[in-house]
A and B are shown apart, each in its own frame.
Chain A
Amino acid sequence: MLTIPCPFCGDRDEAEFRYGGEAQQEVPPSGASDGAWSDYLFHRDNPKGLMHERWCHSYGCNQWFQVVRDTVTHRVHAVYQVGQPAPIADEIDVGDVDGVAAKSRG
């Protein structure tokens, strides 16, 4: 069971959220090649480890935001708003289990 810290409402149960998949998919310019569109629409990094992803607090404030979560431990390491720069992976303290930034009950 995940506890996801919504940047607007605070810690909430995963049942209140809708998942939006990988973040930072950039829309290709019009006239881009089929390959570029295929990459944007279908291909994913699907990382094993830290992943930047979108969540929507659909049963709360209904706002989309972005989360850095570990896909192996399910631990949430950071939360940031859409449009803000993503936390750099090297600066995320993945060992910090009890801190404010780590909010998951596995």
Chain B
Amino acid sequence: MRGYSFSTVFGRALRGHRRWPPAWRSGEPGRSYDVVVVGGGGHGLATAYYLAKQHGITNVAVLEKGWLGGGNTGRNTQVTRSNYFWPQSAAFFERSLELYEGLSRELNFNVMLSQRGILTLAHSHHEMEALRRWTNAIRINGIDSDVLTPAEIGKLVPLLNLDARFPVHGGFIQRRGGISRHDAVAWGYARAAGTLGVTLVEQCEVTGFEIDHGRVTGVSTNRGSIAADRVCLCVAGHTSVLAAKAGFRVPITSMALQAMVSEPLKPCLDTVVLSPVIHMYVSQSDRGELVIGGGADAYNSYAQRGGVPLLEENLAALIELFPAFSRLKLMRQWAGIVDITPDTTPIMGPTPVGNLYVSGGWGTGGYKAIPAGGETMAHTIAHDAPHPLIADFGLDRFETGALIDEGAASGVSH
């Protein structure tokens, strides 16, 4: 497949942008594969890409029940950062941010990474203390972060009301954090994986597993049975549903995480602003819309729509901090089903079923982990042993008690 470049775009423009070839091709499912990846979101596509690219395993199929990137990958708020507390999380998410920094070149697809900084606010003296501790932990992990005074924050974000009902006592910023284009990440990985020989199958739902003597040998789908030497689940909020079909339980709760966008505005906010305590974060997309999010709804849900009480809470916090936004209209509101673990750290690695791997438990923060998630899962599948970066993320930690209680995982407590 021909790569994108200035000359191809310029040439196509001269011909009126007619007859662009498709970025990737949706394939038909074959009879057997070395690896079947269940779920065609960012993590599934990235896993397939790195299997082909770094391990030479190209007889791979990605099975997606809907369309590629149509689940949480297309529903998240695009935040990319690595400001985590615990060393294991920091090393993993920093690797992900590093990969994001080179991703457009790697995939020959512009993922529009904008490292505009992510600013976390504190609204009381005690919160500021906790935030300083968090900042120090991040710096000890070798990741950039700076404490800011209210005056510095006021200069950085002039529209922010520092003397609101929840006054701004300070904050910290990871300047390398920011946003990128979520659809482009899915499309870029799909295109690059497809070019390397991975089969991408849409409208193909896995309905069960073929298991022989405790090892998975294939999957049954709405489009027939497919044999597979190894199977990897990358299905986010549906991890429990598929795990149940394979005969085991996971420590995951599925909840609706909602987000919304305003009508488009002229540029007014050039960083991501996050308030963990009053449950709100906001950034401005390249199209000018304010992208607003918060915590997950309080109860289990597979409904892909958010409840009104939380929407109201998010918007009340937004308007309190940014009074200038009070007259805006919302254009869209939606929700994705996120897979929350007890310690808000992902679950990656082997499962009780042989040759069946899981990459799940991403909770409210899976988007930023896509490149490293794919890279480490591909390594884990290829070598049948966890990648060193995810050695502590296995299912067994819930039995050994070695939890990684990452309160910083979501950025917003839930």
State the A residues within 8 Å of B (CB): 1-2, 14-15, 18-19, 21-22, 34-35, 38-39, 41-48, 51, 53, 69, 71-74
24 contacts between A and B (CB under 8 A): A1-B308, A1-B309, A2-B299, A14-B307, A14-B309, A15-B309, A34-B399, A41-B398, A43-B250, A43-B251, A43-B398, A44-B253, A45-B240, A46-B240, A46-B241, A46-B254, A48-B241, A69-B299, A71-B300, A71-B302, A72-B302, A72-B303, A73-B303, A74-B303
Question: Which residues of B have CB within 8 Å of A2?
Answer: 299, 307
**Contact bitstring B290-308, A, C-beta under 8 A = 1, else 0:** 0000000011111100011
Given the complex of chains A and B, what is the CA–CA distance between A35 and B298 in angstroms?
A: 27
State the B residues within 8 Å of A (CB): 238, 240-241, 244, 249-254, 298-303, 307-309, 342, 398-401
Given the complex of chains A and B, what is the CA–CA distance between A2 and B308 in angstroms?
A: 9
Question: Which residues of A have CB within 8 Å of B303?
Answer: 71-74
Tell me if A44 and B238 are in contact (CB < 8 A): no
Partner of A19, one of B244, B251, B298: B298
Question: Which residues of A have CB within 8 Å of B244?
Answer: 45
Question: Which residues of B have CB within 8 Å of A39?
Answer: 249
Question: Which residues of A have CB within 8 Å of B308?
Answer: 1
* 18 new A-B contacts at CB < 8 Å, known A44-B252, A46-B240, A46-B241: A1-B309, A14-B309, A15-B309, A42-B251, A43-B249, A43-B251, A43-B398, A45-B249, A46-B253, A46-B300, A47-B240, A48-B240, A48-B302, A51-B300, A53-B300, A71-B254, A71-B302, A74-B303
Question: Which residues of B have CB within 8 Å of A69?
Answer: 299
Given the complex of chains A and B, what is the CA–CA distance between A35 and B401 in angstroms?
A: 11
Question: Which residues of B have CB within 8 Å of A38?
Answer: 251, 398-399
Question: Which residues of B have CB within 8 Å of A45?
Answer: 240, 244, 249
Count: A-B pairs, CB below 8 Å: 67
Question: Which residues of A have CB within 8 Å of B251?
Answer: 38, 42-44
Tell me if B307 and A42 are in contact (CB < 8 A): no
A13: nearest residue on chain B (CB-CB)? Answer: B309
A53 to chain B, nearest CB (A): 7
From DSSP, what is the main secondary structure of chain A's interface residues?
A: mixed
Tell me if A19 and B249 are in contact (CB < 8 A): no
Given the complex of chains A and B, what is the CA–CA distance between A71 and B241 in angstroms?
A: 12
Tell me if B398 and A42 are in contact (CB < 8 A): yes
A51: nearest residue on chain B (CB-CB)? Answer: B300
Given the complex of chains A and B, what is the CA–CA distance between A54 and B149 in angstroms?
A: 43
Given A44-B240, A46-B253, CB of A53 within 8 Å of CB of B342: no
Question: Which residues of B have CB within 8 Å of A15?
Answer: 309
B243: nearest residue on chain A (CB-CB)? Answer: A46
Tell me if B307 and A1 are in contact (CB < 8 A): yes
Tell me if B252 and A46 are in contact (CB < 8 A): yes
A37 to chain B, nearest CB (A): 8
Question: Which residues of A have CB within 8 Å of B241?
Answer: 46, 48
A36: nearest residue on chain B (CB-CB)? Answer: B399
Most buried by A among B244, B301, B401: B301
Given the complex of chains A and B, what is the CA–CA distance between A15 and B298 in angstroms?
A: 10
Question: Which residues of B have CB within 8 Å of A21?
Answer: 253, 300
A77 to chain B, nearest CB (A): 14
A84 to chain B, nearest CB (A): 21
Question: Which residues of A have CB within 8 Å of B252?
Answer: 44, 46
Most buried by A among B241, B251, B300, B303: B300
B334 to chain A, nearest CB (A): 15
B399: nearest residue on chain A (CB-CB)? Answer: A38
Most buried by A among B254, B309, B398, B400: B398
Given the complex of chains A and B, what is the CA–CA distance between A34 and B299 in angstroms?
A: 27
A45: nearest residue on chain B (CB-CB)? Answer: B249
Given the complex of chains A and B, what is the CA–CA distance between A51 and B254 in angstroms?
A: 12
Listed from nearest, the 4 A-B pairs whose CB atoms lie closest are A46-B240, A42-B251, A43-B249, A38-B399
Tell me if B399 and A44 are in contact (CB < 8 A): no
Given the complex of chains A and B, what is the CA–CA distance between A45 and B300 in angstroms?
A: 11
Tell me if A71 and B398 are in contact (CB < 8 A): no
B141 to chain A, nearest CB (A): 26
Given the complex of chains A and B, what is the CA–CA distance between A22 and B300 in angstroms?
A: 9
A14: nearest residue on chain B (CB-CB)? Answer: B309
Most buried by B among A38, A41, A69: A38
B26 to chain A, nearest CB (A): 26
Given the complex of chains A and B, what is the CA–CA distance between A46 and B230 in angstroms?
A: 25
